[in-house]
Chain A
Amino acid sequence: MAKDKEKVENTTDDSRKAKWEAWLEAARAQRPDPTIFDMQRANGEFDTIPDWIQ
């Protein structure tokens, strides 16, 4: 995972952070077994806000 991208906890842009959280919630809701998603999240896979969330 790219290290130079913005980590969720470091971002000061609340609107981007909110959009990313909303997107993650939508993604979780689509999973038949959200535990896999939760595991991914616990592993830090979604700690970085992607560029396409603006």
Chain B
Amino acid sequence: MSTFNTQNSVTFTLRHKYFQNGLQQVLQNALVSEQIFKVDRSDLKTIENPYISTSGTITQQAVAGTYTITAMATTEDSLAVADEVIVPTHIFDFETRTANFDLMANFLDDMMYQVAYQVDKFVLNKQLSLATGTYTTPAGGFTTAANIPVICSNLLSKVAGYAGGLAASPFLVIESTDIVGFAQAQVASGFSYADAALRNGFMTSYMGIDIYVIRTGTFVTATIGTLSATNSGRRLFGLKNLGLFASPRGIQYTEKEVSLKTGREVVAWAYVGAKIWANHAPLFVNITLA
């Protein structure tokens, strides 16, 4: 039978080779929240941070020697770990034994990444929701090169003038579609560039502001666990290490043998909570793209 040149016979006669010794992974997004916020990994449900909410009233007067007492007050402020992120799957024994690759290892890698990304997305959206500083970009937003110096200088002015070096280490989180203007501004003003993905989204800095790039669609208007985020079309500017997120024990996982199935059930999960303390909320700017 002459089937020599048909697709069918060729498939079974020619040699195949595997390109790599593991499964292909989905493209992984840069995770930036650990770079810009403090992380607490202790096993705590709540982190308290009270603050002075009513200061005493200062008066200046002609010398008289008398004064009126005014009240001061403190307010509780706390971060609660109220969300969990879980990704479960099952790997049958025959899949482990007869697959070309170690599925358990590859699947675990992928699960860890999914948990980490969801935590990152939640933290970024939560912190953006808590930011009380506001700024609306000129028309064209970050995609217009001429806007970049205008936007950056306006953002810096919102955090300048405080004692204690608060204005050190400003950061800006933009989405991948925004780098168009930055790339053009780079050409015009000698802005350095590096592969953002290899550096957790860090695209070096501009006017002293560290720029972090995340994938488009990370800031969303949607329900993320306990958070009702309204962040579509918004970006985040702030100062590093003032925001806090808590992820007790980081990412955990367990493998368990379950009844009526061969192989193992694999579950990866993480707990997460995030907070910008009340006094620092104005130092984080909720940017509206125009």
Contact = CB atoms under 8 A, between A and B. Distances in A.
Interface string B110-144: 00000000000000000001101010000000000
B281 A46 contact: no
A23 B222 CA distance: 9
B233 A45 contact: yes
A27 B229 contact: yes
A33 B230 CA distance: 13
B132 A50 contact: no
Chain B, interface size category, equals 10 to 19
A50 B129 contact: no
Chain A, interface size category, equals 10 to 19
The dominant DSSP class at the B interface is strand
Contacts of B132: 32-33, 36
B129 A30 contact: yes
B233 A36 contact: no
Contact of A37 (B222, B230, B233): B230
Interface string A19-43: 0000100110011110011011001
Contact of A33 (B222, B227, B281): B281
Interface in B237-290: 276, 278, 281, 286, 288
Nearest to B132: A33
A30 B227 contact: yes
Interface string B55-95: 00000000000000000000000000000000000000000
A50 to B, nearest CB: 7
B9 interface: no
B281 A36 contact: no
A31 B129 CA distance: 6
A33 B276 CA distance: 12
Contact of B228 (A23, A36, A39): A23
B130 A50 contact: no
Contact of A36 (B227, B232, B278, B286): B286
A45 B132 CA distance: 18
A50 B222 contact: yes
CB-based closest 4 A-B pairs: A27-B228, A33-B132, A26-B228, A27-B230
Interface of A: 23, 26-27, 30-33, 36-37, 39-40, 43, 45-46, 50, 52
23 contacts: A23-B223, A23-B228, A27-B228, A27-B229, A27-B230, A30-B129, A30-B227, A31-B129, A31-B130, A32-B132, A32-B278, A33-B132, A33-B281, A36-B132, A37-B230, A40-B230, A45-B230, A45-B233, A46-B221, A46-B230, A50-B221, A50-B222, A52-B223
